[in-house]
Amino acid sequence: MTAHPELTRNQALVLKALGQAEIPLSAYTILDLLRDDGFRAPLQVYRALDKLQELGLVHRLESISAFVACAHPHCHAHEIIAFAICRTCGRVNEFSDAGIEERLGRWIEAHKFEPEKTTIEMSGLCAACADPSNGASVGA
Amino acid sequence: MTAHPELTRNQALVLKALGQAEIPLSAYTILDLLRDDGFRAPLQVYRALDKLQELGLVHRLESISAFVACAHPHCHAHEIIAFAICRTCGRVNEFSDAGIEERLGRWIEAHKFEPEKTTIEMSGLCAACADPSNGASVGA
DNA sequence: ATGGCATACGTTATAGCATTACGCAATCGA
DNA sequence: TCGATTGCGTAATGCTATAACGTATGCCAT
Ligand SMILES: [Zn+2]
Ligand SMILES: [Zn+2]
Ligand SMILES: [Zn+2]
Ligand SMILES: [Zn+2]
């Protein structure tokens, strides 16, 4: 399902590390996780991340300088993606909203701006962390 | 007009530096600009920036790790702010859109998320840089 | 097969961004 | 006067990302 035969060994290892994590990982955390697999330098991680981002399999969260595996590894080439990031448990919710895309599209047209990358990130508390009595579990 | 008697000397110097710049500045660039005013260490800049952000006079652009003076130094306490950042000339356009705010509000309500900070940044080419024949000048 | 090109890799060093930790000084209200 | 708060100055450190080098590999047109 999420197999990508095109991936090199390094790219596959980085993607696997991100896929197994419940929260976003920094490049240096990934490096540490992959030391046993022969990783020695940040560039090995960054190069793999670059490629994975190109392929749409990984996203960078600008506001926390960390990376997540795409939650919808199908093609969302044309969608604008948004993230809700919990500052307590670290969990991330990836979603898209046609309405937001349409509003931004209006602004872009009116101002003749040519966007190449759009970042939408909300930081705050997820439902579980905001109200622990609500039943959901809070990760380690 | 933009005077804030509450500001300390360091805060006022940082705000002035940002106000005179046409593009966002990194903390270390601000530090260099203010060496003649006695600034010696990054922390002097970061502490001033923290306070200025609290006051809503400065924004941090997450996607480029840089800071801008607020373009609308009146109160926009309740608005969600968005930025269009030109990757060529570096100029930034700050705006807000009630429609986007409303759409995000819907998602937040549906998911019981409690946002504390929202980041919306578009990178790309401004009208002048995308089509130089269009008349506008392209900054240094 | 051979040469040229493109892509990925490995390593070292360096650049750029941000915070921790400590102590001092000024301010303000109890 | 005391204690609390806030800001300041300095040094050290940590985290994030890229530059620059050379090597290896696969592919393809010659
Ligand atoms: Zn995705
Ligand atoms: Zn949470
Ligand atoms: Zn503003
Ligand atoms: Zn421009």
Closest to B63 (Cβ–Cβ): which among A62, A108, A126? Answer: A62
Tens of pLDDT along A29-38? 999 999 999 9
Which chain A residues touch B71 with a CB distance below 8 Å?
A: none
Domains, chain A: 9-127 (1.10.10.10)
**Count of CB atoms within 10 A of residue A59's CB?**
22
* Tokens at B92, concatenated: 């930034």
Tens of pLDDT along B50-107? 999 999 999 999 999 999 999 987 767 678 999 999 999 999 999 999 999 999 999 9
The answer to whether the beta carbons of residues B48 and B10 sit under 8 Å apart is yes
E strand or H helix that includes residue B14: helix B9-20
Tens of pLDDT along A12-30? 999 999 999 999 999 999 9
Which ligand is located closest to the Cα atom of residue A79? 1
CA of A113 to the centre of ligand 4 (A): 9
Q: What residue type is A85 in one-letter code?
A: I
Which residues, 6 or more positions from B115, have their beta carbon under 8 angstroms from its beta carbon?
A84, A122, A123, A124, B104, B108
Which pLDDT score, from 0 to 100, does residue B22 have? 96
B38 touches strand D (CB under 7 A): yes
Which nucleotide, over all strands, has the C1' atom closest to the CA of A51? C8
Which pLDDT score, from 0 to 100, does residue B58 have? 97
Q: Which nucleotides of C are covered by protein (CB under 7 A)?
A: 8-13, 16-21
Which residues, 6 or more positions from B16, have their beta carbon under 8 angstroms from its beta carbon?
none
The answer to whether the beta carbons of residues A26 and A18 sit under 8 Å apart is no
A34: left (phi over 0), alpha (psi -120 to 50) or beta: alpha
